[in-house]
Chain A
Amino acid sequence: MLKRSLIVAIVLALGAPTAIAANAFETVIVIKDHRFQPDEIKVPAGQQLKLVIDNQDATPEEFESHNLRIEKIVPGNSKATIRIEPLKAGEYRFVGEFNEDTAKGKLVAE
């Protein structure tokens, strides 16, 4: 019984990411000169999201959002992918933790 539920759990764990990737709403946020472009992004509520953070600065940035419970380091001149579960309508703020004065933005789910 325990063994079977373990196998089920593993299959679910392996299957879940692909299921999420399949019908996700994808959008790109560029980081340049320690600012997000765009800094306000409209996304559909109630749908899987896939954010691609494209850091075009030479320096690393930490994409952080307490609203979305995300902490992700994006090295300089590289991209990182962030998956977000379906959101309720509302505003979700995020910052670049390493340059919090300038790197600010929000997702607007509607």
Chain B
Amino acid sequence: MLGAALIVFRETLEAALIVAIVMGASRGVAGRTRWLIGGIAAGLCGAGLVAGFAGVISNGLDGRGQELLNAAILLTAVAMLAWHNAWMSAHGRHLATQMRRIGHDVSVGAKPLYALAIVAFFAVLREGSETVLFMYGLAASGAGGSGLLGGSLLGLAGGAALGWLIYRGLLTIPVGRFMTVVSWMVLLLAAGLAANAAAYLNQAGILPSLVSQVWDSSELLSQDSVAGTLLHILIGYSDRPMGIQIAFYLATLTGILLLMRIFGRNRAPMPKVAEAVVIDPAEARARP
């Protein structure tokens, strides 16, 4: 039972952390609940579909279907996160000015919510399909019975709860720094996902590893430990990274920073832009 709980916990946590960051990034934006719930619900439906067609996907494209699908999902999420940060650099200042003039968040609803909803969708889709397959296996083997099912549900609840706690933790960040912190989290998340995509493309035989193992810190901090898992998701920590993963990580990091700089030009330096969009939490609560 504990084993089942742990597996489902790990899969859920990964999706929950990404959703928590996306919730942070969309904090105070009108209509975000509808978009995010829509993204998560669509992700759950998609997870069922992907799990149902796992055999077709796995053997598709000369046995590379699963790797290519994962890489495509991850890279789309990276593109959406990059777009979000670029957009914030370009419009954050303008929105803040407008908000100050009118006194509330009239135009904040213009923020690209669909980009964040797509990120939530893919996070739930990817981790959810693995959870569905795992639980299907439990049900089909009939070995575990209710104990394993209970364990799975416990893991699901635990992962979701930890994601929620992290979101609550994000909210305790002083309002003035909130958006800056969130854009850095989005940046690091995107870089980590890109490194993950590189590993799948390498596994598919499409990209060389460059260096098969740049370092080995598994003794120091195993990627399987709770802290290792958290860091893996949040900043892309890997205990035995390939050269190509590091290349993707750094390229994504600099690429997005560059985009933010270009889009933010003639407006204001990045951190100030980010700060300026922050909405007073009391005001955010009062919003319908």
A83 contacts B242, CB within 8 Å? no
Residue from A75, A76, A101 within 8 A of B3 (CB atoms):
A101
A99 to chain B, nearest CB (A): 8
In this complex, the interface size class of chain A, counting residues with CB under 8 Å from chain B, is 20 to 34
A98 contacts B240, CB within 8 Å? no
In this complex, the interface size class of chain B, counting residues with CB under 8 Å from chain A, is 35 or more
A76 contacts B58, CB within 8 Å? no
Decide if B239 is an interface residue (CB 8 Å cutoff): yes
**Which residues does chain A contribute within 8 Å of B223, judged by CB atoms?**
66
In whole angstroms, how far apart are the Cα atoms of A88 and B67 in the complex?
A: 24
In whole angstroms, how far apart are the Cα atoms of A57 and B142 in the complex?
A: 13
Decide if A16 is an interface residue (CB 8 Å cutoff): yes
B54 contacts A75, CB within 8 Å? yes
Query: Taking chain A's interface residues, is the majority helix, strand, or loop, or is none over half, making it mixed?
Result: mixed
Decide if A110 is an interface residue (CB 8 Å cutoff): no
A69 contacts B242, CB within 8 Å? yes
Residue from A66, A76, A78, A83 within 8 A of B205 (CB atoms):
A83
B57 to chain A, nearest CB (A): 9
Query: Taking chain B's interface residues, is the majority helix, strand, or loop, or is none over half, making it mixed?
Result: helix
Decide if A32 is an interface residue (CB 8 Å cutoff): no
B58 to chain A, nearest CB (A): 5
**Which residues does chain A contribute within 8 Å of B203, judged by CB atoms?**
69-72, 82-83
Which residues in window 45-85 of B have CB below 8 A to A?
54-55, 58-59, 62-64, 66-67
Decide if A91 is an interface residue (CB 8 Å cutoff): no
A16 contacts B208, CB within 8 Å? yes
Residue from B62, B134, B239, B240 within 8 A of A60 (CB atoms):
B134
Residue from A21, A59, A75 within 8 A of B58 (CB atoms):
A75
B109 to chain A, nearest CB (A): 38
Q: A58-B140, A100-B3 are in contact. Are A66 and B240 (CB under 8 A)?
A: yes
In whole angstroms, how far apart are the Cα atoms of A97 and B8 in the complex?
A: 11
Decide if A26 is an interface residue (CB 8 Å cutoff): no
Decide if B266 is an interface residue (CB 8 Å cutoff): no
**Which residues does chain A contribute within 8 Å of B242, judged by CB atoms?**
69
In whole angstroms, how far apart are the Cα atoms of A103 and B3 in the complex?
A: 13
Decide if A108 is an interface residue (CB 8 Å cutoff): no
A and B contact pairs by CB, cutoff 8 A, 25 listed: A17-B205, A17-B206, A20-B205, A59-B136, A59-B137, A60-B136, A66-B223, A67-B240, A69-B242, A71-B203, A72-B58, A73-B58, A73-B133, A76-B137, A78-B58, A80-B58, A80-B66, A81-B63, A83-B203, A83-B204, A85-B209, A85-B212, A88-B212, A100-B3, A100-B7
Known pairs A17-B204, A82-B203 / 13 extra A-B pairs, C-beta < 8 Å: A16-B205, A17-B64, A59-B138, A66-B224, A67-B240, A69-B199, A69-B202, A69-B240, A72-B66, A72-B67, A72-B203, A85-B209, A97-B7
Interface residues of A (CB under 8 A from B): 13, 16-17, 20-21, 57-62, 66-67, 69-76, 78-83, 85, 87-88, 97-98, 100-101
